[in-house]
Amino acid sequence: MKGIDIYSGQGNIDFNKVKNDGIEIVYIKATEGLTYTDDTFKNFYNDAKSVDLKVGFYHFLRNNNPVEEAKHFINVTNGLEVDCRYAIDVEVVLGQTSDKILNNVTQFANYLKSNGKDIVVYTYTSFLKEYLKSINNSFQLWIAEYGVKSPNINVPYIGFQYSDSGSVCGINGEVDLDEFSESILLRNAGSNLTLNNCNIQSIDGFVNEYNFHKVKSLQELINGLGLKDDSGNSLIVDGIFGELTEQASRKLPIAQVTGYHNDAYTDWIEIQFNQKPDHFFGKVMDNIIREFQRLKGLIVDGKVGIKTLKEILKQP
């Protein structure tokens, strides 16, 4: 999904032209620090919503009490109908250690979560690697890196800011350009598809034999890796293993001991078998997969192809 992120420095914006230029999502800067509120955010919000663009807000995190910053963000944006995850913009050091930065992000995020807000963390590839190394498996990520086709990271992400000097009709001057998967949308936004209005059987967390939670985590992984269905679309993260999810799943690499490396997918597989994720598909995982295949009546080769993957998704 094509998107932009904007702030007051963009000046007047014609959101109808923005939408007609193919933009679907608009992230708007709302707040910064303990007291700052962007003076155009409410007008941007109203104008973007008036032409049915999907809207999200972001907060620029500084070196203050993170809970108080989070309260400021919530107080300013409360009562406004948003479509996208609440974004935490983390990109400046301000004399802090890595541990302090990570602690601030975690406290800020947890406060939002405790108030029912789904979040995404925005940062640069370089900042992620230097200051937020251990955050990868904790939060959804929106990564900025320019001049590349995809971020140079080995963890899933749901947003990719690929330019800070883009051009979009309706905006004078340069603007940040983004590509989002549907995981950026809040759970009550986007698709109106529910289990109740589909021909689907759901029993104790399983949908048509597949574990809803395992499938959902796989869909998020697939979107984070940038894989698409056969029509070139990202997956809807709905926990349902249907035809489109299977199409995208077949594009995952075959996980095995030799000739394979994918940190994020390896970690996902390890977690399914209650192993500590370590980015390494070695002899231990090979033995685990072989025993699993034997128990399930599959070809015992230690390779996680589509048949083995589907059986994994059927486990409690």
Residue in 5, 32, 220, 229 annotated catalytic: 5
Does residue 286 have an active-site annotation? no
User: DSSP character for 208?
Assistant: T
β-pairing, 2-6 vs 119-124, is: unpaired
Check if the beta carbon of residue 28 is closer than 8 Å to that of residue 89: no
Report CA Rg, the chain.
Answer: 21
Report the C-alpha gap between 8 and 19 in whole angstroms. Answer: 19
Does residue 5 have an active-site annotation? yes
Helical spans, DSSP H, in the chain: 15-20, 41-50, 66-77, 98-114, 125-131, 212-224, 243-249, 263-272, 283-296, 306-312
Instruction: Say which amino acid occupies 26.
Output: V
Contacts of residue 50, Cβ cutoff 8 Å, sequence gap at least 6: 15
Residue in 14, 91, 246, 311 annotated catalytic: 91
- Pick from 174, 176, 109: which is nearest to 140 by CA? 109
Q: 189: which 2 tokens?
A: 């936004």
Which residues are annotated as catalytic?
A: 5, 91
